Amino acid sequence: NAGVTQTPKFRVLKTGQSMTLLCAQDMNHEYMYWYRQDPGMGLRLIHYSVGEGTTAKGEVPDGYNVSRLKKQNFLLGLESAAPSQTSVYFCASTLRSRARQGSGELFFGEGSRLTVL
């Protein structure tokens, strides 16, 4: 059981380049999230999705776009990378929403380390 898989694990970009991070989960989870982790700032929510075809903004959405065309995949895109987007990006998923009495336990991927020069 793979759980939550992120690709790529490492990437170096030049300022202005674009790229997409892929998150795939095989647990049939409804909710998926993208976080970034920076030293001294903890994890911050970028965007999230409550189901196939839906996305919503989190705490720090500027400069990122997302898509959830299939339930198992959640893509995070950077259209024009900036040095401030150098970070470690984590994808997470959970089975059910609170409204459906899910526990809300999150499962995380291993992370994608992005450096923007």
Partner 1 sequence: KQEVTQIPAALSVPEGENLVLNCSFTDSAIYNLQWFRQDPGKGLTSLLLIQSSQREQTSGRLNASLDKSSGRSTLYIAASQPGDSATYLCAVSPNTGTASKLTFGTGTRLQVTL
Q: Give me the residues that bind partner 1 (CB under 8 A), please.
A: 4, 31, 33, 40-45, 48, 50, 56, 58, 90, 92, 94, 97-99, 102-111
Least distance from partner 1 to the Cβ atom of residue 61, Å: 12
For partner 1, the closer of residues 62 and 105 by Cβ is 105
For partner 1, the closer of residues 1 and 40 by Cβ is 40
Least distance from partner 1 to the Cβ atom of residue 114, Å: 14
| Sequence-ordered list of residues with C-beta below 8 angstroms from that of 69, at least 6 positions apart, any chain | 52, 53, 75
For partner 1, the closer of residues 40 and 69 by Cβ is 40
| Sequence-ordered list of residues with C-beta below 8 angstroms from that of 33, at least 6 positions apart, any chain | 45, 47, 48, 49, 58, 74, 91, 92, 93, 106
Q: Examine residue 8 and say whether the peptide bond preceding it is cis (omega within 30 degrees of 0).
A: yes
For partner 1, the closer of residues 81 and 91 by Cβ is 91
In whole angstroms, give the CA distance from residue 31 to residue 52. Answer: 9
